[in-house]
């Protein structure tokens, strides 16, 4: 039984074509991904220790995943010893129920959130709003996409697909809706100043702050947040209650492990040696402390992760969500994250979406959204074998009967025909005859959808040129020049 991920509303070809037709989106995504990939290259080139640290970090993550149950138990004990409350959540309903219970008990209405992919994964905002809470995203990118009614298009840059002009339009609309002054212009300082002004009020009035967690250090039960905006600290210290929703895979054994891991996500994701803020949270405010919440809740989210432990996909649990594989993927760089129809996009999204949400819901991703160029494998600091996982998911799609019957039939017939020399030669001759009407300038271009195999050939050639079957095949040339078959 997999966990839960929201199902896409439309099929992949529709989402892909919509993205391809949107030149603004393609420009924004291309600029962001090329910039981030270049930053990463420069960061590693100027920091020889980066590679060495990467190896240590990889070893720490693998060791942590291998002891996951033990580390979760240790972390939970230590959080509780410092006055925190620990809740194990099997899936989205458990998380929403817990937050709503706390809200009812505390008579809470307003929630501020810092960026968290775990809460995106389980559509926590929608569930809390259905329960009567007002939820405000406070990471700048998340705030933008919340106003746009969208989900993140990149793991670390949620509004990577938006231009400054589009952001200004969203902020202008928000200013009209709440009766405040719009941004002065569409410069970055003007846009961030508007967001800061709006969000300040939300922080001050919030009853509950919700965060994710980049790591959870088992030996002390310390939650670690790495961010480039101050919103993480505001969300976790100003409201009287802090609830952290953290995937069980984020647990690491010790501070020594954390020391080598802290740099990996910024180095690989944004090309920074360290993020602007590193927040270490060890429970609620204690006697004598000035800042911090009265209550701290750690919600450990499973949602299909634990069952990956003893499978060939266990290395996906070491993912640190750095986004590096997205930035080098030719498909992601062209269509952006929304085309994937999942909060997790790019190569890691192709793998995680079916693993967490079920293959039946997302079989189209491994099948169609990957060129198997292996760039993601080279970019991943955790050495996750993404191409192999994608191949394995494609294989499972066939063995679990999730491919279209017409496709299965096509390959079956094709395999039978080409299993004999006579079948191979006769189909080659037929194809040579049949292709005549569609060869232009030496290449085979678009063909009508009814040509056999139905839909498959037309679909393949709708976005590619292919060489036509040669006027003389190798076998025919051999027979003509050697007089032998
Ligand atoms: S799969 Fe690797 S490159 Fe992609 S987000 Fe995870 S750690 Fe980063």
Q: Which domain holds residue 431?
A: 415-482
| Per-residue model confidence as pLDDT tens digits over 145-170 | 999 999 999 999 999 999 999 999 99
The closest of 169, 178, 211 to 197, measured between CA atoms, is 178
Domain boundary among 261, 287, 307: 307
Measured from the Cβ of residue 428, the count of other Cβ atoms closer than 10 Å reads: 16
* pLDDT at position 343: 96
Residue 295 in domain: yes
For the whole model, what pTM was predicted? 0.92
The pLDDT confidence band at residue 1, using thresholds 50, 70 and 90, is: low
Residue 340 in domain: no
Concatenated DSSP letters for 339-382? GGTSSS-HHHHHHHHHHHH-HHHHTHHHHHS-----HHHHH-TT
Measured from the Cβ of residue 51, the count of other Cβ atoms closer than 10 Å reads: 11
The pLDDT confidence band at residue 404, using thresholds 50, 70 and 90, is: confident
What percent of the chain lies above the pLDDT cut of 90? 86
Residue of 250, 320, 327 to mutate, ligand 1, most atoms within 8 A of C-beta: 320
Domain boundary among 291, 307, 323: 307
* pLDDT at position 411: 86
Measured from the Cβ of residue 192, the count of other Cβ atoms closer than 10 Å reads: 14
Tell me what the mean pLDDT of segment 131-145 comes to: 98
> Does residue 303 sit in the same domain as residue 419?
no
* pLDDT at position 437: 87
> Does residue 300 sit in the same domain as residue 425?
no
Residue 394 in domain: no
| Per-residue model confidence as pLDDT tens digits over 193-223 | 999 999 999 999 999 999 999 999 999 999 9
Q: Which atom number of ligand 1 is nearest to the Cα of residue 269?
A: 8
Residue 452 scores a pLDDT above 80? no
Residues with beta carbon inside 6 Å of ligand 1? 155, 268, 319-325, 348, 379-382, 384
Residue 65 in domain: yes
Q: Whole-angstrom Cα distance, residue 357 to residue 342?
A: 10
Domain boundary among 241, 273, 307: 307
Residue 142 in domain: no
Q: Is the dihedral of CA 189, 195, 201, 206 positive or negative?
A: negative
Ramachandran category for residue 347: left, alpha or beta (phi over 0 → left; psi -120 to 50 → alpha): alpha
| Per-residue model confidence as pLDDT tens digits over 331-379 | 999 999 999 999 999 999 999 999 999 999 999 999 999 999 999 999 9
* Domains contained in the chain, number: 2
Residue 169 in domain: no
CATH number, domain with residue 104: 3.40.50.10420
Q: Whole-angstrom Cα distance, residue 195 to residue 190?
A: 9
* pLDDT at position 397: 94
Residue 145 in domain: no
Residue 235 scores a pLDDT above 90? yes
> Does residue 301 sit in the same domain as residue 428?
no
The pLDDT confidence band at residue 454, using thresholds 50, 70 and 90, is: low
> What is the strand order of the sheet 134-137 is part of?
85-89, 295-301, 241-247, 208-211, 110-113, 134-137
Atom 6 in ligand 1: residue holding the nearest Cα: 319
The pLDDT confidence band at residue 263, using thresholds 50, 70 and 90, is: very high
Tell me what the mean pLDDT of segment 105-130 comes to: 98
* pLDDT at position 403: 84
Residue 3 in domain: no
* pLDDT at position 160: 96
> Does residue 100 sit in the same domain as residue 217?
yes
Atom 8 in ligand 1: residue holding the nearest Cα: 322
């Amino acid at each position: 039984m997999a966990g839960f991920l929201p199902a896409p509303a439309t099929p992949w070809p529709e989402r892909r074509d919509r993205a391809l037709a949107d030149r603004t989106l393609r420009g924004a995504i291309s600029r962001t991904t090329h910039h981030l990939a270049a930053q990463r290259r420069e960061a590693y080139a100027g920091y020889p220790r980066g590679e060495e640290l990467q190896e240590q970090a990889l070893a720490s993550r693998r060791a942590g995943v291998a002891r996951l149950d033990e580390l979760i138990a240790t972390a939970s004990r230590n959080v509780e010893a410092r006055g925190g409350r620990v809740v194990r959540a099997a899936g989205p309903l458990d998380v929403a129920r817990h937050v709503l219970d706390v809200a009812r008990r505390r008579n809470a209405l307003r929630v501020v959130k810092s960026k968290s992919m775990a809460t995106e994964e389980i559509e926590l905002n929608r569930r809390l709003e259905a329960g009567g809470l007002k939820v405000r995203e406070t990471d700048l990118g998340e705030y933008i996409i919340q106003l746009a009614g969208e989900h993140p298009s990149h793991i670390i840059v949620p509004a990577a697909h938006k231009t400054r002009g589009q952001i200004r339009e969203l902020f202008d609309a928000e200013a009209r809706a709440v009766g405040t002054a719009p941004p002065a212009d569409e410069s970055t300082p003007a846009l961030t100043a508007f967001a800061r002004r709006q969000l300040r009020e939300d922080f001050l009035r919030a009853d509950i702050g919700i965060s994710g967690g980049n790591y959870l250090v088992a030996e002390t039960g310390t939650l670690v947040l790495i961010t480039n905006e101050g919103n993480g600290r505001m969300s976790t210290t100003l409201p009287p209650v802090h609830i952290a929703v953290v995937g069980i895979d984020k647990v690491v054994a010790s501070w020594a492990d954390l020391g080598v891991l802290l740099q990996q996500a910024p180095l690989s994701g944004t090309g920074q040696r360290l993020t602007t803020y590193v927040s270490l949270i060890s429970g609620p405010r204690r006697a004598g402390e000035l800042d911090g919440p009265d209550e701290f809740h750690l919600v450990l989210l499973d949602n299909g992760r634990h069952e990956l432990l003893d499978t060939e996909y266990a290395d996906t649990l070491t993912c640190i969500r750095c986004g590096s594989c997205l930035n080098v993927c030719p498909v992601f760089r062209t269509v952006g994250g929304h085309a994937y129809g999942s909060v997790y996009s790019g190569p890691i999204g192709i793998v995680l979406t079916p693993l967490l949400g079920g293959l039946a819901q997302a079989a189209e991703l491994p099948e169609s959204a990957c060129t198997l160029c292996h760039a993601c494998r080279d970019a991943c600091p955790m050495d996750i074998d993404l191409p192999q996982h994608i191949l394995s998911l494609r294989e499972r799609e066939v063995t679990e009967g999730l491919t279209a019957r017409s496709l299965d039939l096509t390959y079956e017939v094709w395999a039978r025909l080409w299993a004999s020399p006579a079948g191979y030669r006769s189909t080659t001759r037929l194809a040579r005859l049949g292709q005549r009407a569609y060869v232009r300038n030496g290449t085979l271009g678009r063909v009508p959808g009814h040509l056999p195999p139905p839909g498959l050939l037309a679909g393949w050639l709708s976005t590619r040129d292919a060489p036509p079957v040669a006027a003389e095949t190798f076998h025919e040339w051999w027979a003509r020049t050697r007089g032998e078959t």
